[in-house]
Amino acid sequence: MHLPTKKRLKIAIVGPYPVNFDLISGGIEAVVRNLVQGLCQYPDFEVHVVTVDFAKADELNQPDGANLHIKQASQGASQWLFYSLERQWIKQTLDSIKPDIIHVHGTNFYGYAVSQSPYPTLVTVHGVLREEGKLKTENVSPIYRLYRWVKGYFNTWFEEQTLQNARYATIISPYITSMLERYSLERLYPIDNPIDNIFFELESRPVPHRVLFAGLIHRRKGIIHLLKAINQVRQVYPDVSLYLAGQISEAEYADVLKTYIQAEGLDSVVRFCGHLNETALYQAFQECQLLVLPSEEEVSPMVVQQAMAMGKPVVATSVGGVPYLIENEVSGWLVPYGDPTALAQAIQSLFDNPKLAESIGTQARNVAESRFKQAMICAKTRETYLSLVNQALLEPSSAPLGSRY
């Protein structure tokens, strides 16, 4: 499909973006970065990134070929007022850009900020916030439980308003499709998350019996079950090691994990790596024998796709969209959520049978090659943008279409 004119299209990417590439926090930031990087290769696109910086980055990485619009997150009252200052800034910034397409990532305050925009808008649903808000908060203080409830209420409300007003959405997993049936979206575009090319190029140097978890240290990730599984595995493989790579986003949950580690004498087995910069994260992937993701809820986890691209075997819980990424005992290993014994048995099976592990890793890489390559995903996204622009030009409307042709 071709542009309706020779002028460049203004594309506004709205959502979490790692303004410092060494401070990437979560899979959505990685997705947005990879997408922006790929879209900037198209000479007929003028790409703008509109994001709020919650990390207070000291150094900013200007995306190659894109225009970065960034606001430092407001503290205090704004968060309790539905991020009103951030939403107002997003709207004003978009009005100054006058984009031909808005592509918003996430249905939280970002999605709500553009939910009634006059510009053609595409929504990528990265998580089911309504379901995440239902996750248990046992063994935490009443204050933290209240905080989680308030945050869950806000996010659920944002999600509802975003999707009620949305016309078009990209689907990163079939798991999302059933959730969207209750809304009146006109068109759904199935497009996987793009993976950074480097994960297809890194050399694997596995340390025997090293297990990697990569992600936020958060209750939703089910890490306590992984610790219990590793405690079982070390009875058979005393040299097993677990690297937990990720930022602590729930301090109380991290304390629960550390208490268990101390009580079970796992101090020499489990390593909290903290937030890793890009170089250190690549090394962690290279040196692991397998990746484990024991989450309670996931849609299309980037760490699974990254591990697959490297040909690393993955053990993950059969929740949400994970079964749409890996086929059990073919391109990965699926276990029930909250079952440490099943986790331990899957890990041991891969340790016991190197040929099986190699076969699963090879098949996983084949899947990644066919589905997650950056250039392929960006090409599909480009075609979607052009389709929406052409459709908008045919619709009679008094609202602006960026700079109408």
Q: What single letter denotes the amino acid at residue 119?
A: Y
H or E stretch covering 210 = strand 210-214
H or E stretch covering 365 = helix 354-371
* Gap between the Cα atoms of 303 and 374, Å rounded: 15
Q: Measured between alpha carbons, how far is residue 42 from residues 2, 10, 369, 382 in Å?
A: 12, 12, 22, 9
Tokens at residue 210, please? 């090293």
**pLDDT (0 to 100) of residue 62:** 66
Which residues touch 319 (CB under 8 Å, ≥6 apart)? 295, 296, 297, 298, 337
Which residues touch 325 (CB under 8 Å, ≥6 apart)? 173, 300, 301, 304, 305, 308, 332, 367
Closest C-alpha to 291, from 276, 272, 306, 279:
306
* Gap between the Cα atoms of 59 and 170, Å rounded: 31
Tokens at residue 154, please? 């806000």
**pLDDT (0 to 100) of residue 55:** 72
Q: What is the mean pLDDT of each run of 10 residues along the chain (405 residues)?
A: 69 92 80 95 96 74 82 72 89 97 95 94 83 56 64 79 93 90 92 96 97 94 97 98 93 93 97 93 97 95 97 97 96 98 98 97 98 97 96 65 43
Q: Looking at 93-209, which runs of residues are DSSP E strands?
A: 101-105, 121-124, 168-171, 187-190
**pLDDT (0 to 100) of residue 79:** 63
**pLDDT (0 to 100) of residue 403:** 44
Instruction: Report helix angle 340-352 to 354-371, nearest 10.
Output: 100
Q: Which domains does the chain have, with CATH numbers?
A: 9-194+373-394 (3.40.50.2000), 198-371 (3.40.50.2000)
